[in-house]
Amino acid sequence: MRIRPVLAAPAAAAFALLLLGGTGAPAAVAAPAALPTCRESAVSVSAAPGATAHAVRIGVTNWSGRACVVDRIPTVTFGDLDGAAQPVPPVESAPYRLAAGGSAYAAVRTLDPAATETRTVAYLTVAADPSHYGKSFDAASVGSPGGIPVWEPVTTLWQPTRAAADAALAAAVR
């Protein structure tokens, strides 16, 4: 299984580059980047069966009274397997703004249809940011009561709606 490191340091480096505009000079528009990272206690994550086989819909909601940021790539790990779902399209970490009371959605494909081998896990864990521990969801709650088959998992970036997340996944895995 290909993996995406889930360390906070790369996200922090990307965040610093965003603040500096990638050139070492202050960015022209620093307002969104100046927002704090959402505290894990201020957000909730969810996971449910997806629109297609071997897909899971995930979400994050900011319950705090102020805007904050999470990583634009949701962190989705599978049972005791190493690594996390790869982002589609392949991008680096960057902040994603969540308004106070706002939500974002992503879609995860757990199994590549062309896979010739799989692993099966009893749960997956979703975190809105790699600095968060995340919340685990058992296989039955995401529509796989016999276990979640995993091979070459991918995730979309956070999207403003569930439909946009489903469309992003469909476009990315054609």
From CA 137, how far away is CA 118, in angstroms rounded? 19
Q: What pLDDT is attached to residue 174?
A: 77
Q: What pLDDT is attached to residue 34?
A: 84
From CA 115, how far away is CA 64, in angstroms rounded? 41
Q: What pLDDT is attached to residue 173?
A: 82
Within the chain, which residues score under 50 in pLDDT?
1-5, 7-32
**pTM summary value:** 0.81
**pLDDT tens-digit readout, 46-74:** 999 999 999 999 999 999 999 999 999 99
For residue 3, the 8-state DSSP code is -
Q: What pLDDT is attached to residue 20?
A: 42
From CA 40, how far away is CA 57, in angstroms rounded? 20
